[in-house]
Amino acid sequence: MAYKRPESVLVVLYNEHNQVLIMQRNDDADFWQSVTGTIEEGELPLATAYREVAEETGVVLSPESGDIIDCQHINQYEIRPEWRYRYPPDAFVNTEYVFVVQISSQAPIILTEHSAYEWVEKSVAAERVWSPSNQAAILAFVPESK
């Protein structure tokens, strides 16, 4: 098994009603999250963001459109102990690049890595996501409802 790189993206999706898309992980029913994914060798974080949105939701956005916004925010956090086996033995901290994108609430969501999804209000999303960095990104980068 090839190790994962300890660099990833977090992409918060919200709709025209400023509701946030959260998804339930297949491997942990209590773990809700936004789109996340490992940056592949030679890939820029923004390219990873576009790839991961397409892979995890089926929503294909064109990098030329500029739809995904780089929040110019980077998190560093300890890798969950139960996931460390996926990373090199000396990797204990992950670096996460934060992005946000508005999509239509009518966009069909096709899950490939999650068991369920919901569009929820910003405050609800921030309460339900597992990761503190995901919570902070929702609160900081999703616009307030009008």
- Give the pLDDT of the chain (146 residues) as one tens digit per residue: 789 999 999 999 999 999 999 999 988 888 999 999 999 999 999 999 999 999 999 999 999 888 999 999 999 999 999 989 999 999 999 999 999 999 999 999 999 999 999 999 999 999 999 999 999 999 999 999 76
- What pLDDT is attached to residue 146? 66
Q: What are the structural domain ranges in the chain?
A: 7-141
Structure token pair of residue 74? 């980077």
- Looking at residue 51, its pLDDT comes to 97
pLDDT of residue 101: 98
The pLDDT of residue 60 is 96
CATH hierarchy code of domain 7-141:
3.90.79.10
DSSP letters of 36-77? EEEPPTT--HHHHHHHHHHHHH-----GGGT-SEEEEEEEEE
